[in-house]
Each structure stands twice: as structure tokens, then as C-alpha cells.
Amino acid sequence: MSLYKNSQFLVLLALSTYALASSVGGNLTASDSADKLKQSLSLSPAAPVVVGVDSPVFKPGVDSLFSLNLLSSFPEDLEISDYCSDLLHIFGQRYVAYVNCLVTAARPVKVCQNCFSSYGSLTNIYTNISSDQMGPGNVSCRDSLLRSDHLMLVYLLYSNMEDIWTKSACDNCIKGFQSLTNDTLYFISTLNQTLTCFEKYQQGNHTELCKDCKNAYRDLNELYSRMETNLTMCIDIEDSMNMTRRLWSKNFNCSFPREETVPVIAVSSFMLFLPIIFYLSSFLHSEQKKRKLIHPKRAKSYTTLMNIQDKLS
């Protein structure tokens, strides 16, 4: 019975659809069909509608607990204190100042003598951040700024700057982030005297430069050798000495016999004549040995001859 009623309903639905199409004139366009399809879909509760996040229909609540912005504020118990925030801001300023100084002092290298003050300021603020001492309100910034995440960005940034300072051996030229050491100042003074002599003759005859600046250049080399032995030089001194030697040898074509070459020449000469000495001593020793072997034979034959003469007599 139910099947019969359903069949009647389908027949009536087909007839009504045909009548509607006939009234319009059977000339439905594609756009009209699409519009009717949209209307039918909008009226159908079973048709799902997917709306993108960027759609104007999607509007997250302003007062929602979680926002799409990664820069949103977190609860106060997770935020750093105002004191730690101020330290972080000062660290950023001093970090930028030190990096700018390093870039300007890259060539010629003067990272120690020009940037020791800015590095000292950076070290000072980092010491305050990494210290166990409590700030205002009994707040320590070491955990919140250095250990609160896996990246540890503040520690990483400072470690890179500290590595540059260490590789440059700036501690050998700087005295407590306050001034240059006396050895460094004396080397700079000697270097300036040598460069002044170079400038005096560089436009003229280089032969006169090699002759008149020889003593100044020799004193500078000896001073550099002593500082190299005593480990009292930094990258600034090393780079300036390399540039001075390049000027002396390549630009001015000057030569200067260094004292350390004398022992090398002496040892080389000794090694050269060593085979000759060895073969000569071997030859003399063999001749002496032959004489020792022949002498007893002669003595024995002479004794035998004397005995024979005694018997005959």
C-alpha cells in the first residue's frame, strides 16, 4: 500500500514539473538553471557549505580565547617582567652597536682597538641578564630570557659575538675594556713611524726608501717578533704587520735580511758539507788502520832475519 502511495506521489511530481516547464516556454537558459540549482541547494538541509578562513563570512570572535595572530598577548604569569623586558631592550641596542662597529672595522682590521668599548657594554648587560641576583621585585631574568625556549636566542647571539672576540685575541691588546695595553700602544707608535717614512719616499725613488726606512722597518719587525713570542698581540697587530710587509716587499721591492735566516743558513751549510766530512774521516781512518796492520809484519820479518843471521854466524 505504501509503495502504491509513493508511486502516485512521484507521478504527480513529474506532472507538476512538466507543467512548470511548459509555462515558461521550454526555453530555460543555463544561467536560469544554475540559479534554480543554487536556490534548491540553499533550501536543502543536506548540502554542506564550505567557507574559507579568508572569506568575509568567516569572522572569528573578538573576545575568543585563542587568536590567529602569533603576536597575541599571553596571560600575565607567562609574560616576562618589566625589568627583564628593559634588560632585553638594552641588550638589543648594545648588540646592534657592537655589530655596526665590527662592520666598519673589518678592513683594515681594527676590531679590538675600535670596538672594545661597545663589546664591554654588551658583556656588562649580558652579565646582568645571566646573573642569579634578583632584580626589583625579586625577579631573575636568566630563566625567562635565556632558558625559556629551545632556541635560546639571546645566549646564541651573545655566544657569536664572544667567539669573534676570542678568535681575534683582543684580550691581549685590551686592558679591562678600558684602554689599550702599553705594548699595543708602543707597537702602534712604532708602526706610525715606519708608515710615515714610507709616505715620505713613496712618490720618489724607492731605492732611497729602502735605504732610509730600513732601520724603522727593522725595529718594527723585531718588536713584532717579541710580541709574537710573548703572546701579547691581537688580530689588529697581526693584520697591520702583514700589510706593512706587503708594502715593503711588493709595492716598494725592498729586501731585508732577517736575523733568523742566519741560523738556517749555518745549519744548511753544515748539512751540505757533512757527507764530505764523513767520507774524508772514513778515508783517513782506513789509511791509519792499514799502517797499523803493516807495521807488525815488518817488525816480525826483521826479527826473523836477525835470528837467521845469528845462526849462520
DSSP 249: I
pLDDT of residue 305: 56
The amino acid that residue 226 corresponds to is: R
**51 and 148 belong to one structural domain:** yes
User: In whole angstroms, how far apart are CA 229 and each of 232, 233, 245, 261?
Assistant: 8, 9, 18, 17
Whether residue 123 lies inside any domain: the answer is yes
> Where among 117, 146, 168 does a domain terminate?
168
Domain span holding position 151: 2-168
Q: Which residues, 6 or more positions from 292, have their beta carbon under 8 angstroms from its beta carbon?
A: none
Whether residue 34 lies inside any domain: the answer is yes
pLDDT of residue 39: 47
Residue matched to cell numbers 631573575? 140
**39 and 135 belong to one structural domain:** yes
One digit per residue, the tens of pLDDT, for the chain of length 313 reads 444 444 455 545 555 555 544 444 444 444 444 454 344 434 344 444 444 444 444 455 545 445 555 555 666 555 688 889 999 999 999 999 999 999 999 999 999 999 999 999 999 999 999 998 777 767 788 988 998 889 999 999 999 999 999 999 999 999 999 999 999 999 999 999 999 999 988 887 788 999 999 999 999 999 999 999 999 999 999 999 999 999 999 999 998 665 555 566 777 777 777 788 777 777 676 766 555 555 555 555 556 656 655 655 5
pLDDT of residue 74: 62
Whether residue 274 lies inside any domain: the answer is no
**81 and 226 belong to one structural domain:** no
Other beta carbons within 10 Å of 246: 11
Beta carbons of 167 and 160 less than 8 angstroms apart: no
**158 and 208 belong to one structural domain:** no
The rounded distance, in Å, linking the Cα atoms of 129 and 153 is 13
- Extract the C-alpha cell encoding 76: 600575565
**142 and 217 belong to one structural domain:** no
**27 and 84 belong to one structural domain:** yes
Whether residue 122 lies inside any domain: the answer is yes
**53 and 135 belong to one structural domain:** yes
In residues, how long is the chain? Answer: 313
Q: CA quadruple 278, 279, 282, 283: dihedral positive or negative?
A: negative
Q: Which residues, 6 or more positions from 24, have their beta carbon under 8 angstroms from its beta carbon?
A: none
**51 and 186 belong to one structural domain:** no
> Where among 111, 138, 168 does a domain terminate?
168
**227 and 90 belong to one structural domain:** no
The pTM of the full predicted model, rounded to 2 decimals, is 0.60
The rounded distance, in Å, linking the Cα atoms of 46 and 170 is 76
**6 and 131 belong to one structural domain:** yes
Number of domains in the chain: 2
Other beta carbons within 10 Å of 97: 16
**232 and 156 belong to one structural domain:** no
> Where among 198, 219, 251 does a domain terminate?
251
